[in-house]
Structure 1
Amino acid sequence: MELSKGTKVAIWAGSICLFHVIGMLVFRAFIYADMYIAPEDAYGISDLIELLIGAVFLVFFDGIYFIIFHI
């Protein structure tokens, strides 16, 4: 059985997204809690890192959506 190009892209993209979500969860569970937040600050560097990770995920996922449904 041969897979079409779109199916291969979808499988590849799904696995990358899955690993990214797992990475985000690992960061949140094991690293985020140990990072320092100053008492007077509303957010710390860990919140900025989490925002960056989430933004990368959204940009990547949007790019994959465009590739799958517009090619």
Structure 2
Amino acid sequence: MRTVRRETVAKFMAATCLGLLAAMLGFRAFLYSHMYLEPGAPAGISDLVELALGLLLMLALAGAALSAAWLAFAGGRERLVAVGIGVVVVAVALSAGPLHNLVARWASA
């Protein structure tokens, strides 16, 4: 039976964060405005989808940060991988909000 290496799991978590960010931005850019919103309702199904994607992104960021910390304590070459994953986590966390606002502005124009 093949065992999964720790750094493979951590890299998968970082790729998941990037994929969820891309999915969230793509949904906001291309699908959000085309989904039904009942007149007079404060929120629609598109807002719930966006909330779910945002929560999944936060969960994935937390998982990637924990896996990076796990690798950092392992030592050796895995510390370099942990630093790279940490950079990805911080970059996604800091850029998600501004990118979301930018895409929302472009999509509504």
What is residue 102 of structure 2 aligned with on the other side? none
- Cα separation, 2, equivalents of 1:41 and 1:35: 13
- Cα separation, 2, equivalents of 1:14 and 1:59: 12
- Cα separation, 2, equivalents of 1:40 and 1:49: 19
The 5-angstrom pairing of residues 19-30 of structure 1 reads: 19-30=19-30
2:13–2:63 contact (8 Å) kept in structure 1: no
- Cα separation, 1, equivalents of 2:70 and 2:7: 14
- Cα separation, 2, equivalents of 1:44 and 1:12: 32
Give TM-score, length-normalised by structure 1: 0.77
AA paired with 1:18? L
Q: Which ranges of structure 2 fall in alignment gaps of 5 or more residues? A: 72-109
2:20–2:56 contact (8 Å) kept in structure 1: no
What is residue 37 of structure 1 aligned with on the other side? 37
Count of residues paired in the alignment: 67
**Stretches of 4+ moved more than 6 A in 1?**
none
Shift of 1:13: 3.1
Shift of 1:67: 1.3
Give TM-score, length-normalised by structure 2: 0.53
Q: Which ranges of structure 1 fall in alignment gaps of 5 or more residues? A: none
What percent of counterpart residues are identical?
34
CA RMSD of aligned residues (A): 1.9
1:56 equivalenced with 2:53 (yes/no): no
**SS state at 2:13 partner:** helix
- Cα separation, 2, equivalents of 1:13 and 1:46: 26
